[in-house]
Amino acid sequence: MSHLEPILRPARESDADAIAQLHARSWRASNRGIMPDAYLDGPVVEERLALWRLRLAEQNPRHLTFVAEARDGLHGFICFELDADPVWGTLLDSLHVDPRLCGRGLGAALMRVGLARVLEVAPEQPLHLLVFEANAGARRFYERLGGHAESCVPEPLPDGSGTAPAIRYVWPAPVTLPDN
Ligand SMILES: CC(C)(COP(=O)(O)OP(=O)(O)OC[C@H]1O[C@@H](n2cnc3c(N)ncnc32)[C@H](O)[C@@H]1OP(=O)(O)O)[C@@H](O)C(=O)NCCC(=O)NCCS
């Protein structure tokens, strides 16, 4: 690892605002046309701030969040929820890389580091996630990491305005990722 690469570490409560800002920026870049413009151009930042402040303050042991931190701030984050579903097991709740830094391997690095910790504490659980059907880049990313498209389900939008079709990707237990 060069000195310019970010450090991957567990998230702290003090990371909440930076995570929320990055989450909103990433949604604005990747979810245009999926989430309403009125939400992405309006309350998305405040709404993500409220969620991340609460989530990191709670210190719920079922939530495992990791950040990629560099000298100039956060470059990405990943969050898992253990025991999220009786059938599908651990949920990959969110994974976001700064839109200016996508395509350089950071998403895969966050996935590998985060998942290694998840498997230490919940080795018997499968892994799943939901990604909007229209998010072709993220779907390619998860397929390359060995996820199987299991079904298409209506995913509620965060502003409560409706749903959008999402693909459920699954990794059966014991979860492994391909080497590269
Ligand atoms: C999906 C995401 C986390 C992947 O992280 P990343 O650091 O860009 O991914 P990596 O560099 O490790 O892997 C690159 C692969 O990711 C995929 N990818 C997805 N979005 C991409 C983007 N905006 N730019 C480049 N690659 C992207 C491609 O398959 C790419 O491989 P390819 O260039 O050979 O097609 C990241 O692109 C991102 O944050 N996207 C926006 C938010 C999002 O969609 N999150 C997932 C929601 S469930």
Distance 137 CA to ligand 1 centre (A): 6
At residue 26, does pLDDT exceed 50?
Answer: yes
> Is position 1 within any domain?
no
Contact 127, 90 (CB under 8 A): yes
Residue 28, CB-side half-sphere exposure with 13 Å CA sphere: 18
The closest-lying atom of ligand 1 relative to the alpha carbon of residue 102 is 8
Q: What are phi and psi of 117, to 5 degrees?
A: -70, -40
* The pLDDT of residue 3: 53
- Name the residue of 27, 79, 141 to mutate for ligand 1: max ligand atoms within 8 A of Cβ: 141
> Is position 92 within any domain?
yes
Which tokens is 15 given?
Answer: 């990371």
Which tokens is 108 given?
Answer: 């895969």
Region 87-109: mean pLDDT is: 97
**Per-residue confidence at 4, pLDDT binned at 50, 70, 90?**
low
Distance 47 CA to ligand 1 centre (A): 24
Q: What is the 3-state secondary structure of 76-144? A: EEEEEEEEEECCCEEEEEEEEECHHHCCCCHHHHHHHHHHHHHHHHCCCCCEEEEEECCCHHHHHHHHH
Distance 147 CA to ligand 1 centre (A): 14
* The pLDDT of residue 57: 98
The CATH number of whichever domain residue 123 belongs to comes to 3.40.630.30
**Per-residue confidence at 180, pLDDT binned at 50, 70, 90?**
confident
> Is position 78 within any domain?
yes
Nearest CA to ligand 1 atom 33: 103
At residue 1, does pLDDT exceed 50?
Answer: no
Please tell me if the CB atom of residue 132 comes closer than 6 angstroms to any atom of ligand 1. Answer: no
* The pLDDT of residue 85: 97
Please tell me if the CB atom of residue 34 comes closer than 6 angstroms to any atom of ligand 1. Answer: no
Please tell me if the CB atom of residue 95 comes closer than 6 angstroms to any atom of ligand 1. Answer: yes
> Is position 108 within any domain?
yes
Percent of residues, the chain, with pLDDT higher than 90: 96
Domain count for the chain: 1
> Is position 179 within any domain?
no
103 contacts: CB under 8 Å, gap ≥ 6 = none
- Domain range for 24 is 7-171
> Is position 70 within any domain?
yes
> Is position 156 within any domain?
yes
> Is position 177 within any domain?
no
What is the pTM assigned to this prediction?
A: 0.95
Contact 25, 40 (CB under 8 A): no
